[in-house]
Structure 1
Amino acid sequence: MTALLLIAHGSRDPRHAATVAALVDRVRAQRPGLDVATAYLDHCAPRIPQVVGRLGAAVAVPLLLNRAFHAKHDIPAALRAAGAGLPVADVLGPSPLLLAALDRRLAGAGLDVASAGVRARTGVVLAAAGSSDPAADAATRAVADEWRRTRGWAAVEVAYAAGTGPRVPEALAALHAAGAARTAVSPYLLAPGRLPDRIAEAATEADLCADVLGAAPELATLLLERHDEALRTSRAIPALTA
C-alpha cells in the first residue's frame, strides 16, 4: 500500500503539532494498515529529508487549504532537495468536505446549523490567514460564496488575519449592514496558533466564534481522497540529479 506523507507547515506553537498528530490518528483510524508519516516545512520536526529516506512508495499530501506559495514553491523545492520524486497531491481546498467541517465547528460553538431558519438569519465571517497570492485569496472568496449558496446563510464575508484585505471587525460590520440578525466568525485555518488567536481576539463583537478546522473527521477523509487522486494521476515532482 502506498504510504501517505503528510506535509504540514509547522509552527512554534505546540498546539499546531498536537493538532497534526490528532489528524494523523484520524487518518489511520479511517484506513488501518496505511503507513502515514508526517514532515514539516519549518519550526517542527521531523523535516522532509528526515522522513522520505525511510519511506518506500508514498504520496506527498500538503496540509494546506489553498495553492499559494507553500504549495507552489516550498513543498516542491523541499522534495527536490531531499531527492524525493514523489507524486504530490493537490491542496485540500476547495471541497464540500471543508464546508462540512466548517459547519461542524459552528455547531460545536453553539449554532444550530441544522435549522434553515437560523442559517437564514445568520451572517458568517470566513476568517482566513491571508495571502500575497491573488489566486489564493480568490479561492477563499469562492469558498465563501459556495458556503453561502449551499447553506443559505444570510451572508458570508471574508476576512483576513494578515496581509491586505478586510479584518474581522470590518467583515462583521458588513454582515450587519446586509441585515444579518446574528453573526458568527468561522476560522478557515487548520490548526491553532498566532493567526487563529488574532482572529478570536478580533471576534468579540460576534455572537459566537468557532474553533479552527483542526482534526475534524472530514479533513481526514479529504486527506485520503487527495492521496488516492494523486495515485491515479501520478503527478510526481522530479528529484534533483547530480
Structure 2
Amino acid sequence: MPSSTTRRNDVRQTVNVERNGTYETTDAPALLIVGHGSRDPRGVREFHDLVGLVRRRNPSLKVEGGFIELSRPPISECVDRLAEDGTLNVAAVPLMLLTAGHAKDDIPATLVREKMGHPKMSFGYGRALGIRPELLELMEERISAVVPEAEKDETAVLIIGRGSSDPDANSDLSKIARLFYEGRPYP
C-alpha cells in the first residue's frame, strides 16, 4: 500500500500543481480561495468579506471563494461558475494558517474530482499561510492594542492551535510560539 506521502504527491501531480508557472494574459488563472467553513455565521461572513475585498482590489482577476465543509458555497459550485465563465486555469489557495489534513489531502482530492468533471481546466495549488513574519507582527499589533507597554513584561501570551493531529502542523504551531516569544517582552 502506498504511503500517505506517495498518495499526496500523486494527487498533486494529478491536479497539476504549478508553483512557478507563467501565463499569457488571456489564460491567466482565476483565483479560488478555499476556506474550511464554519457553523458560526460571523466566520463565514468574514471569509466572504475577504473574497469580496480581493475582487475589488483586483478587478481584472476572476475570484471565487468556497469551502471544504460546513458552509456555502462548496468548492464544486465555485469551479462550476468558473467553468461556465470559460476559465481554463485555476489557482486554488487554502486560506488556512497551517498545513494539515484539509490543506494536504482534502483540498487536493477535491481538485482532482473537479478536474475529472472539468477535464479542460487546469488546477494549480498554493500553500497555507504558514509561518510568516507578517503574522507574527499582526499578533504583536493585536496584543499591543489591548495591553499597555508597561504591562507587557507581566502579561503571558497563550498561543492555541485547534484540531490537528498532523505532526507538521503541530510543529509549525510550536515554531510560531517560539518565534513570537523571542525578542518580545512577554514572560
Deviation of 1:29 (Å): 4.2
What residue number does 1:45 align with? 72
What residue number does 1:20 align with? 47
Residue 34 (1) aligns with residue 61 (2): yes
Deviation of 1:66 (Å): 1.0
| Partner Cα separation in structure 1 for residue 58 and residue 179 of structure 2 | 29
Matched to 1:136, the amino acid is A
* 1:204-238 per-position Cα deviation (integer Å, ceiling 9, x unaligned): xxxxxxxxxxxxxxxxxxxxxxxxxxxxxxxxxxx
Cα pair 2:64 2:78 within 8 Å, conserved:
yes
Matched to 1:22, the amino acid is D
| Partner Cα separation in structure 1 for residue 108 and residue 122 of structure 2 | 9
| Partner Cα separation in structure 2 for residue 100 and residue 26 of structure 1 | 21
* 1:32-61 per-position Cα deviation (integer Å, ceiling 9, x unaligned): 432221111112121122111332122101
* 1:151-194 per-position Cα deviation (integer Å, ceiling 9, x unaligned): x1323xxxxxxxxxxxxxxxxxxxxxxxxxxxxxxxxxxxxxxx
Cα pair 1:6 1:62 within 8 Å, conserved:
yes
More helix by share: 2
* 1:111-150 per-position Cα deviation (integer Å, ceiling 9, x unaligned): 24xx4x5444432101221411122111001001111114
Aligned to 2:127, what secondary structure does the other structure show? Answer: coil
Which of 95, 118, 127 is matched with 1:90 structurally? 127
Cα pair 2:90 2:122 within 8 Å, conserved:
no
What residue number does 1:122 align with? 155
More strand by share: 1
Residue 10 (1) aligns with residue 37 (2): yes
What residue number does 1:68 align with? 100
Residue 103 (1) aligns with residue 140 (2): yes
Cα pair 1:123 1:153 within 8 Å, conserved:
no
Structure 2: stretches of 5+ with no match in the other structure: 1-27, 116-120
Alignment CA distance shift 1:31-1:97 (3 Å): farther
| Partner Cα separation in structure 1 for residue 133 and residue 32 of structure 2 | 23
After the TM superposition, which parts of structure 1 deviate over 6 Å for at least 4 consecutive aligned residues? none
TM-score by length of 1: 0.56
Cα pair 1:5 1:60 within 8 Å, conserved:
yes
Matched to 1:87, the amino acid is G
RMSD: 2.0
* Identity across matched positions, percent: 34
Aligned to 2:160, what secondary structure does the other structure show? Answer: strand
> Following superposition of structure 1 onto structure 2, how do residues 151-230 of structure 1 map, counting pairs within 5 Å?
152-155=184-187
Aligned to 2:91, what secondary structure does the other structure show? Answer: strand
Alignment CA distance shift 1:101-1:22 (3 Å): farther
| Partner Cα separation in structure 1 for residue 54 and residue 144 of structure 2 | 22
